[in-house]
Amino acid sequence: MCGLLTFVSADASAPARRAAVARALERLHHRGPDAGGLVVVDDDAVLGFKRLSIIDVAHSDQPLTYADGRYAITFNGEVYNYLELRKELVREYGARFATEGDAEVVVAAYHHWGAAAVQRLRGMFALVIWDREQRRAFGARDPFGIKPLYHLTTADGTYVASEKKALLPFLAASRDPAGLDETSLSHYLTLQYVPEPASMHHGIARLGPGRMFTLEPGGAPQVERYHRPQWRPTPTDDPEALYRRIRQTLRDSVRLHMRSDVPVGAFLSSGIDSTAVVAFAREFNADLHTFTAALDVPGYSELEAAQRSAEHLGVTMHPVTVTAQMMMDALPRIVWHLDDPVADPALVPLYYVAATAREHVTVALSGEGADELFAGYPIYREPLSLRPVSALPPPLRRGLRAVSRAIPEGVKGRGYLQRGTTDIEERYYGNAREVDAHTKRRLLRRYDPDLTHAEVTGPIYAACADLGDVEKMQYVDLETWLPGDILVKADRMSMAHSLEVRVPFLTQEMFAVAASVPTELKLPPRSTVTKYALRRALADVVPPHIVSRPKLGFPTPIRVWLRSEMYDWALDILGGSGADALLDLNYARWLLEEHRRGAADHSRKLWTVLIFCLWYDMFLGRPLAQPSARAGSLPVSPTSGAAG
């Protein structure tokens, strides 16, 4: 894994910007500590790179040039079919290569196939190619958004980077005195992450998953979508054949994801996803090392089940125990790495698991994406449970809706009727549903009742109007929750320790087979199990105690800790944060007190506010610098170290 920073000048000032780009590039050192490079191409472009060496370790340093210097590429990620593409390029075009790595294959593919090359790439990537002859940049991001790519256009030109912190020095202070996008703040409170393509800073955006762009000097990125997932649930008379296809496709994906010139390990939780990845990886590496998190609060630790799996599969396990104090110590550094706030407590154990993994390996496989592809979240069963009401004729549903309004708050059945009489487009916007409209109205200093989740999910629902409700929910999560939360966690927490995380479930081939699974084989009507087809496919692959076990996903007991060890810490943050200019932190302190008394569980609401407070004080309060592990060091500002 690596970090890139590219500047395309609007006024032929690339050489004059070299020093500023070099300084900003150092903010990405954690993504690539093994090597670094910076090239200036004529007066048009500066390409900078930080490398974590995985393939062709001794060579393939970037920026890498091709075709006698016509192209220069910066490429973050891995293309797992690069050997096959390389053979095809040699056979069909007589292509020549000076390295054994995948970056040169990517730029050669672009040379011969143009923009269509990205549809041939199988892997995770964010890339920028400068074409010296055409005086044009081309960039792209992988279909699922596994690797990040941010961009900022100013009067001087356009900057593109792997992380937003590398762009902050170039953010024009005149764009907005605070630099904060309050629309993104509102969506963050609802979703617990900032939905793409926006960021929390005005002017800085993200290239969405499955998008590519072209950029010429003096212009802005012209974005086009090259990949859109298509769900095609297909009835089958031979489910066993489908299960075999799932199993073989995942095995082939893990095999390709094991390609590396450095040690490869795997994360291991108590769920079927990571356990299956470990089981297949063990076939290709008999000395596989695995890593998991433990917590000393009853009901929150995955250690026992993961240890049983490790013993069954014959792999080495390295557990790390996470405490409340460790969480408080790490959060400033975690927020710094995130760039934008993400209110998912699972970030913390993942941060420590990645740190432990990096002591033993450079690459780790993980199970992200399986829940979105194979319907693994319990909420996906809701359309089935609501069917007795939702399937009624519209007049009857409207009548029941009126009845639900007359039922007092808290009375059993009221919520069921309300949700059953509400269309999926209105009621579902993802997994995070803690900060409702009432809470947002109390929290936000400037609350806009017209700004709802529909702004984010409306276009997505429009694109999948012909699907059933379960597939619509999967589609929404694939487009929002997966790149906004799940993959941000995987990328930032691993890159914080210069560890590459690979996700074998997220390939076009895996999606194709998952998209064909009929609803009744994902979520059987008379069962409470999720991911049924995947579980059946892997029943002979994973240990018996894992087959039907629900996934916890590195859970954290913030509900418990905010009433005890973390209470004073939370109170200090709420009492001293500059975010009070945007959020009513007196109300947040009231929530904290009510939570401490046990009158209600406000832990997720509070966590959402606390993470934003840490982010605000770091990114908008003081000059940006990587914080120490303790909460007392929280520096960051959009204009510090600005180019000039």
Known catalytic residue at 2: yes
- Give DSSP secondary structure letters for 99-110: SSSHHHHHHHHH
Cβ(305)–Cβ(292) below 8 Å: no
Distance CA 250, CA 243 (A): 11
C-beta neighbour count of 465 within 10 angstroms: 8
Hey, what are 318's tokens?
């390295």
Contact in structure between 201 and 455 (CB atoms under 8 Å): no
Q: Is 3 helix (H, G, I), strand (E, B) or coil?
A: strand
State the Cα–Cα distance between residues 32 and 98, nearest whole angstrom.
Answer: 22
- Structure token pair of residue 1: 């894994």
Tell me the one-letter amino acid at 498. Answer: S
Which candidate in 1, 2, 295, 643 is catalytic? 2
Residues in the chain, overall count: 644
Give φ, ψ of 214 to 5 degrees: -120, 150
* Integer Cα distance of 179 and 551 in angstroms: 39
* 186 three-class SS: helix
Query: Contact 210/143 with Cβ under 8 angstroms?
Result: yes
CA distance 346 to 500: 18
d(CA 489, CA 145): 12
Is 311 exposed, middle or buried, given 0-12, 13-18 or 19+ CB atoms closer than 10 A? exposed
Tokens matching residue 301? 């630790």
* Long-range contacts of 462-468, Cβ-Cβ distance < 8 Å, separation of 24 or more: 463/228, 464/231, 467/231, 467/233, 468/233, 468/383, 468/519
| 341 preceded by a cis bond (ω within 30 of 0) | no
Residues forming the active site: 2
